[in-house]
């Protein structure tokens, strides 16, 4: 038997290495999302800025991160903190100048960190030159937006054209006296939707992409893509039709969920637009050989999400964001539900495309707050070691928690629009946007200002990068760095994947390649369990601890019996099969 095994070896060896292709930069890196307003303030005005980011690029390098995507830093009146862009070709003054941005790019290049920007194609700011010109009756720019006549009610009072609601509540239509019409805003009033049925808009937005590619950015994250197109009103007698009632939030007709968004979301034309943008991305790759990467943000069904990848004829986004770790489970979910959520993207995705994993962003409660601080390392293990590209929201590497932001301090329109000083926090996104916690100096080392734009979260004196980097023992950040390094092993780059829910609490997966076998196990509950890992094919004998979570009593190098492994409360471990 043994002899036979040996004889077979060369053939297996060849086979395995044939499948090992050189990975492109974006396929093996970690993308680190920076929310510029909250990362690092260089001039003491209480607001993060570009120079601040440049000064911390080495920190990213040290973490093992190869790319960062920046939330918008374009010129904006900040009604939606930069997602309302007044000039797509310029930098917001409080964040710095174009020269500062170029410096950031140069420093990043030196460190081999790719810079990805946020592309917000659905709307401009109501204070953009385009919208201002539209209001003055300049036809070219008037046609950049979506306009509709109001309707008179029985009392002769002018009402919005139809029942569409904005994502942030209330009517999606706003009247402008200057032109006697309503404009559409799927998000806040200050974000008039662009009209993608106008070829001038399509060309203009491609030029925005070209402008930043020329400067040297390596890609774009595309914001709110599902909202790009509205239904073609010509098919409905020239009037935008009402959306049907969804059956949710029945007592609250102004809520977004009250309606089923069949005319304002996921319209078929959206996909073609993404394919057209990809052609612009590829124009630049042809020039200099660097792949420009597109990530699309859409909270849609998996079937719809997969269409962003493209098809046999056309390429789309390399990374349609996979939000299952955010939207499909929480601290109460069973291990089975967790497996089911993770399998979802892997099941639907085209076989030749990569998955991607995102556990947090500036729109969702932090991991430590959603799952509890003990699961921070376990969640980072999922993000960094599941097959595919990893995306980390700044602060998740140290387990930052949602900050407390009082009603008086609340600035997010999603919170303010509730007009509810008691329950606003359920809608506000400020808690996950509080300043980054660097050290235990004033304002957590984020800023020297008297008052920062959002308050620093309580407890930063114990929870910050400096303390964690200098700690004698284990810390979230050290664990994160360990995982980032482990991620470069062939088993995690090329290895196959199999997962199982061992019981209601324990989720585990195996990654294997070329004789190396790893098991990642996360116990989602405060209950100990004994697990028999020989369930996994080819796993028996002993397993060695490679990385373990903060509270784990194990040490690196400890040996565990595969058929009788004791997993303690909320423990997460990466194990390697001892050959
Ligand atoms: C833009 O919209 C905001 C509300 O989001 C409003 O406060 C502001 O006055 C508007 N600006 C202009 C120039 O219409
Ligand atoms: C995750 C994310 O970037 N969400 C953004 C979606 O788009 C709206 C409007 O541009 C923003 O408010 C969100 O922050
Ligand atoms: Ca500043
Ligand atoms: Ca739109």
Pocket test for ligand 1, best of 129, 135, 171, 190 (most atoms within 8 A of CB): 190
Who lines ligand 1 at CB under 6 A? 79, 126-127, 188-190
Ligand 3 center–CA 46 separation, angstroms: 6
Closest CA to 357 of 330, 334, 379, 333: 379
Ligand 2 center–CA 291 separation, angstroms: 25
What is the Rg, in whole angstroms, of the alpha carbon atoms belonging to the chain? 25
Give pLDDT, residue 124: 98
Pocket test for ligand 2, best of 85, 223, 300 (most atoms within 8 A of CB): 223
| CB 120 less than 6 A from any atom of ligand 2 | yes
Ligand 3 center–CA 158 separation, angstroms: 44
Helix (H) or strand (E) holding 222: strand 219-222
Nearest CA to ligand 1 atom 14: 126
Ligand 3 center–CA 96 separation, angstroms: 8
- Confirm if 422 and 411 have CB atoms less than 8 A apart: no
Q: What's the pLDDT tens digit per position in 47-84? A: 999 999 999 999 999 999 999 999 999 999 998 899 99
Measure the CA–CA gap between 26 and 68, rounded to whole angstroms.
11
- Confirm if 164 and 246 have CB atoms less than 8 A apart: no
Cβ neighbours around 255 below 10 Å, total: 15
Q: What's the pLDDT tens digit per position in 499-531? A: 999 999 999 999 999 999 999 999 999 999 999
- All structural domains of the chain, each given as residue ranges with its CATH number in brackets, are 123-193+231-266 (3.90.400.10), 404-457 (no CATH)
Helix (H) or strand (E) holding 442: none
Give pLDDT, residue 6: 45
> In this structure, which ligand is nearest to the CA of 177?
1
> In this structure, which ligand is nearest to the CA of 131?
1
What pTM did the predictor assign? 0.93
Pocket test for ligand 1, best of 76, 77, 78, 79 (most atoms within 8 A of CB): 79
Measure the CA–CA gap between 283 and 248, rounded to whole angstroms.
45
Q: Which residues of 56-78 are buried (b: 16+ CB within 10 A; e: fewer)?
A: bbebbeebbbbbbbbbbbbbbeb
List, in order, residues 6 or more apart from 408 with CB less than 8 Å away.
Answer: none
Ligand 3 center–CA 49 separation, angstroms: 5
CA dihedral 457, 462, 463, 468 (to 10 degrees): 160
* Residues 117, 39, 549, 547, CA torsion sign: positive
Ligand 2 nearest atom to the CA of residue 414, by list position? 12
Per-residue pLDDT for 421 more than 90?
yes
List, in order, residues 6 or more apart from 289 with CB less than 8 Å away.
Answer: none
Q: How far is CA 214 from CA 36, 87, 120, 293, 439, in A?
A: 22, 17, 18, 15, 37
Helix (H) or strand (E) holding 430: none
Q: What's the pLDDT tens digit per position in 168-212? A: 899 999 999 999 999 999 999 999 999 999 999 999 999 999 999
CA angle at 70 for the pair 447 and 83, rounded to the nearest 5°: 95
Q: List residues with catalytic annotation.
A: 223, 297
List, in order, residues 6 or more apart from 463 with CB less than 8 Å away.
Answer: 398, 399, 400, 401, 437, 457
When pLDDT is cut at 50, 70 and 90, the band that residue 299 belongs to is: confident
When pLDDT is cut at 50, 70 and 90, the band that residue 19 belongs to is: low
List, in order, residues 6 or more apart from 386 with CB less than 8 Å away.
Answer: 342, 355, 357, 497, 509
Paired tokens of 509? 């997966």
Mean pLDDT, to the nearest integer, of 278-302?
A: 95
Per-residue pLDDT for 413 more than 90?
no
> In this structure, which ligand is nearest to the CA of 146?
4
Ligand 1 nearest atom to the CA of residue 125, by list position? 1
Measure the CA–CA gap between 215 and 284, rounded to whole angstroms.
11
Ligand 2 nearest atom to the CA of residue 221, by list position? 3
Cβ neighbours around 437 below 10 Å, total: 27
């Amino acid at each position: 038997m043994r002899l036979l095994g040996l004889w077979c070896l060369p053939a297996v060896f060849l086979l395995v290495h044939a499948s090992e292709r050189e990975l492109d930069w974006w396929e093996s890196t970690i993308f680190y999302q920076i929310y510029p307003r909250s990362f690092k303030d260089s001039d003491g005005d209480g607001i993060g800025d570009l120079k601040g980011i440049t000064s911390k690029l080495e920190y990213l390098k040290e973490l093992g991160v190869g790319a960062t995507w920046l939330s918008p830093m374009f010129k904006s009146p900040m009604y939606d903190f930069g997602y309302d862009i007044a000039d797509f070709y310029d930098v917001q003054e409080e964040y710095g100048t174009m020269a500062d941005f170029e410096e950031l790019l140069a420093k990043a290049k030196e460190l081999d960190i790719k810079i990805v920007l946020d592309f917000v194609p659905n709307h401009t700011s109501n204070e953009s030159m385009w919208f201002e010109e539209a209001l003055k009756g300049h036809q070219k720019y008037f046609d950049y937006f979506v306009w509709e006549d109001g309707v008179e009610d029985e009392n002769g009072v002018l009402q919005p054209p139809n029942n569409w609601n904005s994502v942030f509540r209330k009517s999606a239509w706003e009247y402008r006296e200057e032109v006697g019409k309503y404009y559409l805003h799927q998000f806040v009033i200050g974000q008039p939707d662009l009209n993608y049925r106008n070829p001038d808009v399509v060309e203009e937005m491609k030029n925005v992409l070209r402008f930043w590619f020329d400067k040297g950015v390596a890609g774009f994250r595309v914001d709110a893509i599902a909202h790009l197109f509205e239904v073609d009103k010509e098919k409905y007698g020239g009037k935008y039709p009402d959306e049907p009632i969804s059956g949710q939030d029945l007592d609250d007709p102004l809520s977004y969920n009250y309606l089923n968004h069949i005319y304002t979301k996921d319209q078929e034309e959206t996909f073609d637009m993404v394919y057209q943008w990809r052609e612009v991305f590829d124009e630049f790759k042809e020039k200099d050989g660097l792949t420009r990467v597109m990530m699309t943000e859409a909270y849609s069904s998996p079937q719809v999400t997969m269409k962003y990848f493209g098809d046999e004829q056309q390429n789309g986004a390399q990374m349609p964001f996979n939000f299952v770790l955010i939207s499909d489970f929480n601290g109460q979910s069973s291990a089975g539900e967790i497996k089911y959520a993770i399998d979802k993207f892997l099941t639907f995705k085209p076989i030749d495309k990569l998955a991607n994993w995102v556990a947090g962003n500036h729109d969702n409660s932090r991991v430590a707050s959603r799952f509890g601080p003990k699961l921070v390392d376990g969640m980072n293990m999922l993000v960094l070691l599941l097959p595919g590209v990893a995306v980390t929201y700044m602060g998740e590497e140290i387990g930052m928690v949602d900050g407390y932001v009082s009603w008086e301090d609340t600035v997010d329109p999603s919170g303010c629009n509730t007009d509810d000083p008691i329950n606003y926090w359920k809608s506000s996104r400020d808690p996950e946007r509080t300043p980054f916690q660097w050290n235990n100096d004033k304002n957590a080392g984020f800023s020297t200002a008297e008052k920062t734009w959002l308050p620093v979260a309580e407890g930063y004196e114990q929870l910050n990068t400096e303390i964690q980097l200098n700690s004698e023992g284990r810390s979230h950040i050290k664990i994160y760095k360990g995982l980032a390094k482990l991620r470069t092993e062939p088993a995690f780059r090329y290895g196959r994947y199999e997962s199982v829910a061992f019981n209601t609490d324990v989720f585990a997966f195996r990654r294997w390649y070329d004789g190396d076998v790893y098991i990642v196990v996360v116990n989602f509950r405060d209950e100990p369990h004994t697990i028999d890992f020989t369930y996994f094919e080819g796993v028996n004998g002993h397993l060695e601890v490679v990385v373990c979570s903060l509270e784990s009593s194990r040490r690196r190098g400890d040996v565990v019996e595969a058929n009788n492994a004791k997993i303690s409360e909320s423990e997460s471990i990466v194990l390697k099969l001892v050959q």
